[in-house]
Amino acid sequence: MAHVRRKFFDLTGNGPAPIAEEALQRIGAMYDIEKAIRGSPPDERLNIRRSKSKPVFEALQKWLMARLAEVSGKSSTAEAIRYALNRWQALGRFLEDGTIEIDNNAA
C-alpha cells in the first residue's frame, strides 16, 4: 500500500491534483485504523480490519474504478490508478491476516 500511496503523493507535487488528494485521504483512513490497532493481538486486529478497514478498502476500489473512467488513459493519474487496481488482491491481504501489516515499509 505504501507504493500505491507514493504514486498518488507524487502527483500532488505539481499543483492541484484533486483525485490524487482524495485517494491519499482514503488511503490515510486505513493507515489511521492501523495506527490505532498496532500492538493489538492478531485476532483483534483482524476483527477491526474486517469491520472498519474492509469497507474503506472496498469503497476505494469502486471510487478508483469510477475515476479511471473519467480521466485520460494516458495521464499520470490513470497510471497511478491502474497501478493500484492491478495489485488489488495483494493490497487486500492485510484484511485476511491479523499478523501482517498494511505495507512492508518496516522491512
Q: How far apart are CA 62 and CA 77, in angstroms?
A: 16
Task: Mention every residue, 6+ apart, whose C-beta is less than 8 A from residue 21.
Answer: 8, 12
Domain boundaries, the chain: 2-95
Q: Are 107 and 2 in contact (CB under 8 A)?
A: no
Q: What is the pLDDT along the chain (107 residues), one digit of tens a residue?
A: 999 999 999 999 988 999 999 999 999 999 999 999 999 999 999 999 999 999 999 999 999 999 999 999 999 999 999 999 999 999 999 999 999 999 988 75
Q: What is the pTM of this model?
A: 0.94
